[in-house]
Amino acid sequence: MRRLRPRVQALRHRTQSQHQVYLRQTLAHVYCDWRSLQGTNPLITTASVVEDFLTYLFEVKKLTAASITEYRSLLTSTLRKMTGTELSGRRY
């Protein structure tokens, strides 16, 4: 059983990493499509735009609060890395 445990932990870590990659790809696709429908550049954003997007996820896409929280976290970190936009201090 001891030999199996590290393998299980490695599999769990790999699965979590794959989940994060999938969420980032999904988020990027949904966010860029949403911004394109508005005729705006997805890399130029403000806190109010992110707030509108999160509202869209809740009202139109019918995502749960937990999913929206995860998307907000991913979106915040992605925008910070790509554009330098800092949104983490706001509550949505």
pTM exceeding 0.85: no
pLDDT value, residue 1: 46
Residue carrying structure tokens 């890399």: 43
In 3D space, the residue among 33, 16, 23, 4 whose CA is nearest the CA of residue 73 turns out to be 23
Sign of the Cα pseudo-torsion (19, 65, 31, 77, in order): negative
Q: Which of 47-51, 58-62, 78-82 has the lowest mean pLDDT?
A: 78-82
In 3D space, the residue among 39, 41, 45, 38 whose CA is nearest the CA of residue 75 turns out to be 45
Average pLDDT on 48-73 reads: 90
Break the chain into its structural domains and give their ranges. 4-83
Question: Torsion angle of alpha carbons 40, 46, 49, 54, nearest 10°?
Answer: 130
Residue 6 has pLDDT above 70, yes or no: no
Average model confidence (pLDDT) across the chain: 77
Per-residue pLDDT of 9-40, as tens digits, reads 666 666 666 666 666 777 888 888 899 888 98
